[in-house]
Amino acid sequence: MSGLGVALPPSTVQDELWEGFFAHHYAGRRRGLAQRIFANSGVITRQAAVSPLLEDVSGWSTERRMLRYQAEAVPLGSTAVRRALADAGLAASELGLFAVCSCTGYATPGLDILLARDLDMSPAVQRLFVGHMGCYAALPGLGAASDFVVARGRPALLLCTELTSLHMQPAGTGGPDVQQIVSHALFSDAAAAVVLTPRSKSFPGYVVREVAAVTDTTTAGHMTWEVTDLGFRMGLSPEVPSVLSAHVRALVGELLGRHRLSIGEVDGWAVHPGGPKILDVVRDRLGLDDRALAASRGVLAAYGNCSSPTVLLVLDALRREPRPPRRVVLLAFGPGLTLYGALLEFSTVAA
């Protein structure tokens, strides 16, 4: 991994979002519950390409939201890609594979085609679009890009772009919809891109040692992302942390065990901050101290849960530390319920 670039829409303070929009959106008996959820979300600031302080999209049709998705996602993704390429010292025309992850919008031609055109990638560049994997999509995307680099000996770029702000839901007329309140308190917009190159071309950098996954299909209904006439509707069961608790230690143990490593030999943890409880579960099940997840909590506080780009934001924070970690485990979670892990190791030696 030789380059990483991030692009963010305008940022807003969480308290201002609450006072300026959500306090009125969840009026009546919903308000007290919603206020507590917002206050305990772990989010201080977050970004929105379509800010509810400026536009209330909760009544928009899915068609209108998808048109706006393309208008906002193309420039945001372009900025992230340009920054990643500059960080890697690579031209867009040198890419052999361009992979895009996004679950918050649909367009054909897609972001992969439009951005390849706008950024002057080769007409022969191979493209891969990963959709509807949600918050963990960056890791299977990273695995596919890494496999391409190893197999073909050519550079690849992975872009994760999400605009969750487009999927604000109506408050409804029944009782409090806790799952929607939680998602509206946590989710945010971002784009992040990573460049992977053959080891002989551009090092030092992080080597992708392995990507691993486990899916518990008995809990498939615990996390959903449904297409409705009013955008995409999130379903988040309160049982998600307990499912992660049952699987995360075994996944990490098997991932590290194949490289004869222990948890204590990992000095960097990039854990997708799906919420404060998610991070608490990972910390407790892996026996980590609070410092190990400081970068993940910092990203949650500063950016919110941006879905697929989020784990890459944590990785970016780790690599910018005064003493970047040598070994990093990335963990992300999403529909399935699915847990994904990746092992990265810093290397200065070309193959």
- Kindly list the catalytic residues: 135
DSSP letter for 85, please: H
* 30, burial (CB in 10 Å: exposed 0-12, middle 13-18, buried 19+): buried
Closest CA to 194 of 175, 207, 179: 207
CA angle 218, 213, 325 (to 5 degrees): 135
Rounded to an integer, what distance in angstroms lies between the CA atom of residue 40 and that of residue 68?
Answer: 31
Which are the contacts of 298, defined by CB distance < 8 A and separation ≥ 6? 317
The DSSP bridge partners found for residue 189 are 163
Closest CA to 214 of 194, 244, 175: 244
DSSP letter for 21, please: I
Token digits of residue 125: 């560049």
Token digits of residue 186: 């946590």
Which are the contacts of 119, defined by CB distance < 8 A and separation ≥ 6? 78, 81, 82, 92
Tell me the Cα Rg of the chain. Answer: 19
Token digits of residue 111: 């972001």
Rounded to an integer, what distance in angstroms lies between the CA atom of residue 237 and that of residue 274?
Answer: 12
Rounded to an integer, what distance in angstroms lies between the CA atom of residue 41 and that of residue 345?
Answer: 32
Rounded to an integer, what distance in angstroms lies between the CA atom of residue 231 and that of residue 211?
Answer: 32
Stretch (H or E) spanning 228: strand 223-228
Instruction: Indicate the pairing of strand 268-271 with strand 156-163.
Output: unpaired
